Amino acid sequence: MATTNGIRIAIVGGGLAGLAAAMKIAEEGHAVDLFSVVPVKRSHSVCAQGGINGAVNTKGEGDSPWKHFDDTVYGGDFLANQPPVKAMCEMAPSIIYLFDRMGVPFSRTTEGLLDFRRFGGTLHHRAAFAGASTGQQLLYALDEQVRRHEVGGKVKKYEGWEMMSLVLDDHQVARGLVAMNLQTLELKAFPADAVIIATGGPGLIFGKSTNSMVCTGSAVSACYQQGARYANGEFIQVHPTSIPGEDKLRLMSESARGEGGRVWVPKEKGDTRPASSIPESERWYFLEEKYPAYGNLVPRDIATREIFQVCMDGYGIGGQNQVYLDLTHIPAETLDKKLGAILEIYEMFVGDDPRHVPMRIFPGVHYSMGGLWVDYNQRTNIPGLLAAGECDYSIHGANRLGANSLVSCVYGGFIAAPAAIEYAKNIERNGVDGSGIYDEEVGRQQEINDQLIRQSGTENQYKIHEEMGKWMTDNVTVVRYNDRLKETDDKLLELIDRYGHISINDSNLWATHALPHARQLFNMLQLARVITLGALNRNESRGAHYKPDFPNRDDENWMKTTIAEYSGEGPVLSYESVDVSLIEPRKRDYSKGKKQDAAKASASANASGLPPKEGAAQVPTEDSETKPRDLTGAAVWDQNKEEVRDVMHGQTETRREQDKSIEDAGGKSDKL
């Protein structure tokens, strides 16, 4: 391949982040080897719908990158290092302009300018959007530019190749990678001057999630097992309303509740009657009952926890993890007018007509805030290894805001590209090419494959995957208890042990799923332990991480990044302080100051007497609090000298959760 100076960079992953990096590197005239399990145009990024944030301020609202920065840090509950967040928000408008120039059909104003959408919980129209499929359009635009560089000879794609491991030299420096051809199962080493990992999220660890099927986190886990640090693994975002499917969870927009949808379960546990034959008096509208004022529009984190708790207590429909989201009392024409598009999605995948049959929904694992540890230039702790996109931990802290992921993926790719080039220019390459490290790593991987093919145990890998997913979903998502987290880790150890006795149930190794899945499963089990033990250790509640036994944010002890390193046995955790040099951590309170729209919601929540966030256990009337007023929380928050009331704690958390829901609320429904 023609290169000006022989620099060759391997990029693993062709989602937004990987393609963004590929385009930048190719544009600088360097060679890119681009690896992807699926053809890059079919990457998970196509699923994103809602929008991409950037403070372009076309609506005369006085929006600015600083406000975007403040919202992001605040929404993330002050767990993100602030400098890269600021840099991202500053770059965001130019990212949107670039995509516009690349031909993304962003929706327009009457003047022909870019239109921006306002997402809940913010005053600003900040998200550019392309109809109902922003992620698809952004990905395609990058795919097209990378194809152009492919034709130009700069990019070589390896689609249908899965990265198995890094090639590290004696000094723990990344010198390339080993990938497996998913048709032939051939293992091959690809030397590279630097490797950028952009493999997306790990949703499949939870069995079913809103993620695509390639989102296993396997490549990231392989890097972790080879010495890369994994940060903030315990921060997993769960969306309250997804459509449980046999194969995956699909998002159901919050607007269904906004239009009057009611959430209920049969009063009797395990009732198997069809919904329509359960009389009104035998239905439990638990949100309306527990939160008389706010009802089904109770803010998102509470909704998630309540639904979850009801099911954990055995009240889910037929004892399952499902509750009804009922729109059948609303006239069909009204529904069609206001919710048409999302109802069609439900209809297409469930087959029921939600105008006449209550929808069945459940919270769904959606996004990982945690990921590979990177510095402000997207470099991991392994020299020569960089990371960008959902697989890195850097931007979203304890909670991601809607429409912020797409922009963070592109930003990460745009920073990783020059950083990788810079690194590649300065490394010592002599002596590496001919050395045996490549053959050695291929041999090591081949041995693992051969062993899996050889062994003939009685365990079924797909059942192990299901068990892992179930344990992780039940215990390491919405509400977390230390004893259950401990048990989950024990379970994971048992599963890892049982993994040693699986057999590949496919004697035809040509284009088989069985071996790649087995390889992914092992890596998922290892990463599941990182998530679980990170959660076990963190005795506070912050962002998506919620422990009823430690219901408050504890900045004194826990405003820290969790760092997991692989010991050969499992994760060893350490903690790193968070750079909060730009915005002083403050109490999250959307009821005052700039967030006037939020204030309204908070005020009505206030009227309902929402207690501090305590999951389902709380009794939401002011005089019947189940929990004593928490002084620790107040002590932490009095930094900004605001009056701290328990009730406000509840409010602030809820507004945050509404923020995070944005992209989904705006997503499927924006066809309306």
Partner 1 sequence: MSTQEQSLTEPQVRSDAPKSVVIRIRRRDKPGAEQRWEEFEIPYRPNLNIISCLMEIRKNPVTREGKPTTPPAWDMNCLEQVCGICTMVINGRVRQSCSALVDQLDQPITLEPMTKFPNVRDLIVDRSRMFEHLRRVHAWIEIDGSYDLGPGPRMDQEDVAERYAYSRCMTCGCCLEACPQYYEDQYIGPQAIAQVRLMNMHPSGKMTRDERLEAIMGDDGITACGNAQNCVKVCPMSIPLTKAIYEENRETVVHGLFGWLKW
Q: Residue 666: which H helix or E strand, with range? A: helix 662-667
Strand 262-266 vs strand 323-326: parallel, antiparallel, or unpaired? antiparallel
User: Based on CB atoms, which residue is closest to partner 1, 150 or 288?
Assistant: 150
Biggest distance spanned by C-alpha atoms of the chain:
78
15 binds ligand FAD (CB under 6 A): yes
45 binds ligand FAD (CB under 6 A): yes
Quick check: is 257 catalytic? no
Nearest approach in angstroms of CB 486 to ligand FAD is: 29
Helices 646-660 and 596-607: angle between axes, nearest 10 degrees = 130
Three-state SS at 250: strand
Considering only residues 112 to 151 of the shown chain, the ones binding ligand FAD according to CB under 6 A are 134-135
| Continuous H helices in 238-388 | 255-258, 286-290, 300-312, 332-350
Q: Cβ atoms within 10 A of the Cβ of 50, count?
A: 29
Stretch that binds ligand FAD, among 29-37, 280-288, 566-574, 619-627 (CB under 6 A): 29-37
Nearest approach in angstroms of CB 180 to ligand FAD is: 9
Q: Cβ atoms within 10 A of the Cβ of 60, count?
A: 7
Stretch that binds ligand FAD, among 31-39, 372-380, 459-467, 472-480 (CB under 6 A): 31-39
Q: Which of 7, 11, 17, 130 binds ligand FAD (CB under 6 A)?
A: 17
108 vs 129: CA distance, rounded Å? 9
Which residues are CB-contacts of 58 (< 8 A; sequence separation ≥ 6)? 109, 113, 114, 115, 116, 125
What is the per-residue binding string for ligand FAD in 200-229, x denoting contact by CB under 6 A? Answer: xx--------xx--xx--xx----------
Q: CB under 5 to 8 A by kind: which of partner 1, ligand FAD, none does 136 bind?
A: partner 1
Q: Do 402 and 660 contact (CB within 8 A), yes or no?
A: yes
Q: Do 9 and 196 contact (CB within 8 A), yes or no?
A: yes
286 vs 263: CA distance, rounded Å? 7
Nearest approach in angstroms of CB 39 to ligand FAD is: 8
317 phi and psi angles, rounded to 5 deg:
-55, 125
Nearest approach in angstroms of CB 344 to partner 1 is: 11
User: What residue is closest to ligand FAD based on CB?
Assistant: 15
Q: Which string of b and e fits 555-583 if b means at least 16 CB within 10 Å?
A: beebbebbbbbbeeeebebeeeebebeeb
Q: CB under 5 to 8 A by kind: which of partner 1, ligand FAD, none does 15 bind?
A: ligand FAD
Reading the block at residue 554, the tokens are 């504890």
Q: Do 400 and 660 contact (CB within 8 A), yes or no?
A: yes
Of 126, 300, 360, 655, which residue is the catalytic one?
Answer: 300
User: Based on CB atoms, which residue is closest to ligand FAD, 275 or 514?
Assistant: 514
User: Based on CB atoms, which residue is closest to ligand FAD, 18 or 469?
Assistant: 18
Q: Which of 663, 665, 669, 670 binds ligand FAD (CB under 6 A)?
A: 663
Classify residue 170 by burial, with Cβ atoms within 10 Å: 0-12, 13-18, 19+.
exposed
413 phi and psi angles, rounded to 5 deg:
-65, -40
Q: Residue 467: which H helix or E strand, with range? A: helix 461-475
Considering only residues 288 to 347 of the shown chain, the ones binding ligand FAD according to CB under 6 A are none
33 binds ligand FAD (CB under 6 A): no
Helices 134-151 and 404-426: angle between axes, nearest 10 degrees = 30
Nearest approach in angstroms of CB 247 to ligand FAD is: 14
User: Based on CB atoms, which residue is closest to partner 1, 150 or 259?
Assistant: 150
399 binds ligand FAD (CB under 6 A): no
Q: CB under 5 to 8 A by kind: which of ligand FAD, partner 1, none does 501 bind?
A: none
14 binds ligand FAD (CB under 6 A): yes
44 binds ligand FAD (CB under 6 A): yes
Q: Which of 35, 346, 373, 393 binds ligand FAD (CB under 6 A)?
A: 35
Q: Which residue has the tokens 């206030």?
A: 606
What's 564's DSSP letter?
A: E
Three-state SS at 363: strand
Can you say whether residue 227 is alpha, beta or left, with left for phi > 0 and alpha for psi between -120 and 50 degrees?
left
430 vs 488: CA distance, rounded Å? 47
Nearest approach in angstroms of CB 361 to partner 1 is: 13
98 binds ligand FAD (CB under 6 A): no
Which residues are CB-contacts of 497 (< 8 A; sequence separation ≥ 6)? none
Q: CB under 5 to 8 A by kind: which of partner 1, ligand FAD, none does 111 bind?
A: partner 1
Q: CB under 5 to 8 A by kind: which of ligand FAD, partner 1, none does 133 bind?
A: partner 1
661 binds ligand FAD (CB under 6 A): no
Q: Which residue has the tokens 């129209």?
A: 125
Considering only residues 161 to 180 of the shown chain, the ones binding ligand FAD according to CB under 6 A are 162-163
Nearest approach in angstroms of CB 340 to partner 1 is: 15
Q: Which of 198, 515, 518, 647 binds ligand FAD (CB under 6 A)?
A: 198
In DSSP terms, which residues pair with 187 in a beta bridge?
180
Q: Which of 7, 10, 30, 50 binds ligand FAD (CB under 6 A)?
A: 50
User: Based on CB atoms, which residue is closest to ligand FAD, 21 or 492?
Assistant: 21
Q: CB under 5 to 8 A by kind: which of partner 1, ligand FAD, none does 661 bind?
A: none
Contacting positions for ligand FAD (CB under 6 A): 12-18, 35-38, 40, 43-45, 47-52, 134-135, 162-163, 198-201, 210-211, 214-215, 218-219, 251, 366-367, 389-391, 403-406, 409, 663, 667
Residues designated catalytic: 300
